[in-house]
Amino acid sequence: MLALREPSLGPCFGMKGGAAGGGYSQVVPMEEINLHFTGDFHAITAANNTLTALLENFRFYNRGKPEGIKTVLMKRCLDVNDRVLRKIVTGLDTPSNGIPSETGFVITPASEIMALLCMSEGLEELRQRIDDMLLGFTFAGEPFLTRDLGVTGAITALLKDAIQPNLVQTLEGTPAMIHGGPFANIAHGCNSIMATKTALQYGDYVVTEAGFATDLGAEKFFNIKCRKAGLQPAMSVLVATSQALKLSGGADEKTMMLPNDAALSKGVRNLEKHISILKSFKQKVLVVLNRYHFDTAEEIAWLRNWCLEKEVAFAVNDSFRLGGEGALEMAQAVVDICNEPSQPIQHTYELSDDVETKIRKIVTTIYGGTDVVLYKKAKDMIKKIKALGLEHLPVCMAKTQYSFTHNAAISGLDGDFKIDVDDLVISRGAGFIVAVCGEMVRMPGLPKIPQANFIDVVDGKITGVS
Q: How far is the CB of 137 from its own copies (least distance, A)?
A: 10
The nearest distance, CB 98 to its own copies, in angstroms, is 4
In the complex, least distance from residue 82 CB atom to its own copies, rounded to whole angstroms: 4
CB atoms within 10 A of CB 389: 8
CB of 418 to its own copies, least distance (A): 8
**For its own copies, the closer CB: 254 or 448:** 448
d(CA 310, CA 443): 39
* Rounded distance between C-alpha atoms, residue 164 and residue 399, angstroms: 30
- The 3-state DSSP class for residue 151 equals coil
Query: Measured from the CB atom, is 10 or 249 closer to its own copies?
Result: 10
Closest to its own copies by CB, 323 vs 464, is 464
Q: Where are the beta strands (DSSP E) in 85-194?
A: 88-90, 101-103, 105-107, 134-138, 143-145, 166-170, 175-178
- Residue 362 CB, shortest distance to its own copies, in Å, is 20
Asked if residue 29 has a cis previous peptide bond (ω within 30° of 0), the answer is yes
The rounded distance, in Å, linking the Cα atoms of 162 and 172 is: 26
Nearer to its own copies, 103 or 342 (CB): 103
For residue 459, count other CB atoms closer than 10 A to its CB: 5
Q: How many residues does the chain have?
A: 466
Query: Of 125 and 329, which has the nearer Cβ to its own copies?
Result: 125
d(CA 466, CA 453) in angstroms, rounded, equals: 13
Structural contact between residues 190 and 220, judged by C-beta atoms closer than 8 angstroms: yes
Residues whose CB falls within 8 Å of the CB of residue 223, separated by 6 or more in sequence, listed in order: 347, 348, 349, 362, 394, 395
Q: Which is nearer to its own copies, 137 or 302 (CB)?
A: 137
What's the closest the beta carbon of residue 148 comes to its own copies, in angstroms? Answer: 12
Shorter beta-carbon distance to its own copies: residue 265 or 411? 411
Residue number with CB closer to its own copies (49 or 243): 49
Please state the closest distance from residue 432 (CB atom) to its own copies, in A: 23
Side chain identity at 165, as an amino acid letter?
A: P
Name 346's bridge partners.
none
- For residue 131, the minimal CB distance to its own copies (Å) is 12
**Single-letter amino acid code for the residue at 246:** K
- Least distance from C-beta 365 to its own copies, angstroms? 21
Residue 161: CB minimum distance to its own copies, A:
8
Q: State the Cα–Cα distance between residues 407 and 401, nearest whole angstrom.
A: 10
Give 46 or 207: the residue with its C-beta nearer to its own copies. Answer: 46
Q: 426: part of which helix (H) or strand (E)?
A: strand 423-427
In this complex, which beta carbon is closest to its own copies, that of residue 363 or of residue 455? 455
CA neighbor of 109 nearest in space, from 185, 199, 3: 185
Residues 326 and 318 sit within 8 Å (Cβ to Cβ): yes
Q: Which is nearer to its own copies, 77 or 264 (CB)?
A: 77
Q: How far is the CB of 120 from its own copies (least distance, A)?
A: 13
Report how far residue 427's alpha carbon sits from residue 442's, in angstroms, rounded to the nearest whole number: 15
- The C-alpha atoms of residue 146 and residue 152 are separated, in whole angstroms, by 6
Which residues are registered as beta bridge partners of 2? Answer: 176, 207
Q: Which is nearer to its own copies, 143 or 450 (CB)?
A: 450
What is the rounded CA–CA span in Å between residue 122 and residue 399? 30
The contacts found for 263-271 with CB under 8 angstroms, 24 or more apart, are 264/299, 264/302, 264/303, 265/302, 268/303, 268/306, 269/413, 270/245, 270/413, 271/238, 271/240, 271/245
The rounded distance, in Å, linking the Cα atoms of 464 and 17 is 9
Supply the minimum distance, in Å, between the C-beta of residue 214 and its own copies. 24
